[in-house]
Amino acid sequence: MTAPDVATVTAVGQAGPDPALQDGVMKGVEATPEEQERLATGNNNGSLDCKLPPHIQKVKPRSAFYSTRVFMLVFLSGWVLQGMFLTYFVSVTTTVEKLFKVGSKTTGTLLAATEIGQICTALFLTYLAGRGHRPRWIACMMLVLAVGVIGCVVPHILYGTQLMDVHLDAHRAGAAPVCSTDGNSSVVTCDAAHAQNTATRSSITAVVIPWLFICLLVVGVGQTGIATLGIPYVDDNVGSRQSPLYMAITIGTRVIGPALGFLLGALCTRVYVDPLANPEYEYSDPRWVGAWWLGMVFIAGFIVLLSALMFCFPRQIKPTPLPSPPKFNMQKRDPLFKDFFATIKRQLTNDILMWRTASSVLHLMPISGVYSYLPKYLEQQFRLPTHDANLVSGLGGILVMGLGIITSGVVILRLVPTARQVAAWTAATAAIYSAGMVVLMFVSCPEESYRALTPGVSNLSCSEACHCDGAPYSPVCGQDSFTYQSPCQAGCVSSQQLDNSTWLYHNCSCINVTLQGDKALKTIERYGLYDTPLDYPSTGFAVTGECGGGACKQIYAFIAIFAAVMFVHASGEVGAVLLIIRCTDKHDKAMAMGVIQFAIGVFGNVPCPIIFGAAIDAACRLRDRACGLLGGCASYDNDSLRHFYLGLSAGLMFLAFIMDMLVWSKAGRIDMNPADRAPDAAPSARSDTPL
């Protein structure tokens, strides 16, 4: 048997070939070529058992898990599921806000919890696991991730029925407040039933929101190991020439996860919160609540399955493993964190890595912020239902990003650009993204026609005597096609119930009786109240709900521009990751990824959803209220929403462009295609500390 064959076998259980072992085999009984082939493939049929030394007989044959492709399949599946959960939670945030009556800043804080979990573990995990059995560490982190995902389902199990009763009671409470000259219009909306519902919802929210924060914190801890350990493990087991293609496949496939998360959210929000019940109304009804918890059960189950497979992979797949440390290290191990701070210092004094870290933070902040609230933005700007907004977010943006990433990996593999060329293109993608967001600020649908929906203005001059202050947001559509914040504000005096959730309001002094809007007229015709237009009441009338705008084709222009911008920006991702891996020492790859992950979490993804959530809340012009308590935003100013939401994203990406130019100025020192050479055998660079 040749020495390379022995090295391949000993790679299963050791960090490198043992010279003594090689000599022992070479001096033993020589095997025939057929026997050598059977031994190498694990099919010796016992023919060499009596001829090889005992310690060789115990070595297990190589299995299917000694394959980079098999590892990529399992690893990428886990990464896809991780990304699915994050965007799935984003896709159901509007449902969570509806159920618990919280604002976007609160849901942004929940989204930031995952990043806080990463911050708490990124550096220590990548330091320990980067020198240990990385597949086992990834498997353990998958189990932690599954625990956090299942924890998010617990609030539905404990409070789902009670919370839905409160939600439906709010829609069965009767007519909205009408005009009352005695000043009691606001009192009517806060009777004993309303007060009880408000108190129940508040008590549940006070428990569930902190619980969800803790569960998402655990999710953040679990997802740290997948990315920061998986990418260096893949890079160590493929050649440097093939690394760009593998990086492109890795990052590109990762993007499929968020896209599938939005699609899964679209499907689950079309299912009623209790799949076994028949609500007898459609998903467009305001009483509808989608099964926001259902997708989490699906994701957690598959993560547990993949973690079991991940435990089967070896410490090293590549048949030319790194050499063993000197014997004194095998006999007496160094302290666990002996060189931890020295490793950190090496990263902090690497100027290219630091500028690339700042660039990564500023690149991901606008992307994370945009996708955290993209479904909500589409609902507000283009009047899309929740499931359609999730479909557009997944197909029109994230899948296009995956295509851009894979395309860039193939280009880098074929053209083999220099580090300065890669850095220049990364900077160009940031500039194009920033310009694209500015263009999208001018793409929107005409806003729905409201009457006096401005902060601090609750009454029109025609309803000043109705005492509408403190009335909740109960929109009605007048026959003049204007939406009023309540029947009281429209000056309506009387009401008539049409079904469980639809009311007709009469004698509305603020509504122009000479106009005839489609929604109001179609509503009374559907219920057969009047046979002909001549029978319509001579005074203004209104029906429950907003009027809604007509069809708007601007959504197609938005999707086209948005997809093009995301494709261009994603084409710089592979080069950005390669710059990180190539600008640091081979043994510090995992640690460099940990530094990036830590910085992105602290300075990027933790404040990002909170900042963007606050920007969206700043565009709110009317908040819902019940019994004196403020709830979520009832109506947004679309112009302000576009400027705050897209303008913030464009500004952050422009700062990323500046950082990219600094990286470009120093990138000449980076070798993007190092030749396959004997690895450094320095004792301090490796540790055999297992999981």
Q: How confident is the model at residue 537 (pLDDT cuts 50, 70, 90)?
A: low
Instruction: For residue 302, give the H/E element and its range.
Output: helix 294-310
Alpha-carbon distance of 238 to 256, in angstroms, equals: 23
Q: How confident is the model at residue 620 (pLDDT cuts 50, 70, 90)?
A: confident
Give residue limits of the domains in the chain: 3-57, 68-322+342-446+552-676, 461-544
- DSSP E strands in 227-324: the ranges are none
Alpha-carbon distance of 142 to 81, in angstroms, equals: 10
Residue 121 burial (10 A CB sphere; 0-12, 13-18, 19+): buried
State mean pLDDT over 454-463.
Answer: 59
Q: How confident is the model at residue 536 (pLDDT cuts 50, 70, 90)?
A: low
pLDDT of residue 560: 92
Q: How confident is the model at residue 34 (pLDDT cuts 50, 70, 90)?
A: very low
For 184-211, give the DSSP string.
Answer: -HHHHTTSHHHHHHHHHHHHHHHHHHHH
Contact 248, 405 (CB under 8 A): yes
| DSSP SS3 for 620 | strand
pLDDT digits 0-9 by tens, 369-415? 888 888 889 888 888 877 788 888 877 777 788 788 878 878 887 88
**pLDDT over 70 for what percent of the chain?**
70
pLDDT digits 0-9 by tens, 178-197? 887 665 544 345 666 667 77
pLDDT digits 0-9 by tens, 543-586? 888 887 665 788 889 999 999 999 999 888 888 878 877 777 76
State mean pLDDT over 281-301.
Answer: 81
Contact 226, 75 (CB under 8 A): yes
pLDDT of residue 150: 93
For 416, residues 6+ apart whose C-beta sits below 8 A from its C-beta are: 672, 673
pLDDT of 448 above 80: no
For 290, residues 6+ apart whose C-beta sits below 8 A from its C-beta are: 92, 95, 268, 269, 270, 271, 272, 273, 283, 386
**pLDDT over 90 for what percent of the chain?**
12
pLDDT digits 0-9 by tens, 580-603? 777 777 666 666 766 777 777 778
pLDDT of residue 465: 77
State mean pLDDT over 64-86.
Answer: 84
Alpha-carbon distance of 306 to 290, in angstroms, equals: 28
Could you tell me which CATH number the domain at 68-322+342-446+552-676 has?
Answer: 1.20.1250.20
Alpha-carbon distance of 688 to 133, in angstroms, equals: 9
Q: Maximum CA pair distance of the chain?
A: 110
pLDDT digits 0-9 by tens, 335-372? 455 566 777 777 777 788 888 888 888 998 898 888 88
Instruction: For residue 629, give the H/E element and its range.
Output: strand 629-636
pLDDT of 23 above 80: no
Q: How confident is the model at residue 63 (pLDDT cuts 50, 70, 90)?
A: low
**DSSP code of 61?**
P
Higher pLDDT pick, 244 / 32: 244
pLDDT of residue 629: 63
For 505, residues 6+ apart whose C-beta sits below 8 A from its C-beta are: 175, 176, 178, 476, 487, 490, 492, 494, 495, 496, 541, 542, 543
Strand partners, 476: 484, 544
Q: For strand 503-508 and strand 494-497, is the pairing parallel, antiparallel, or unpaired?
A: antiparallel
Least confident of 134-138, 327-331, 451-455, 509-513: 327-331
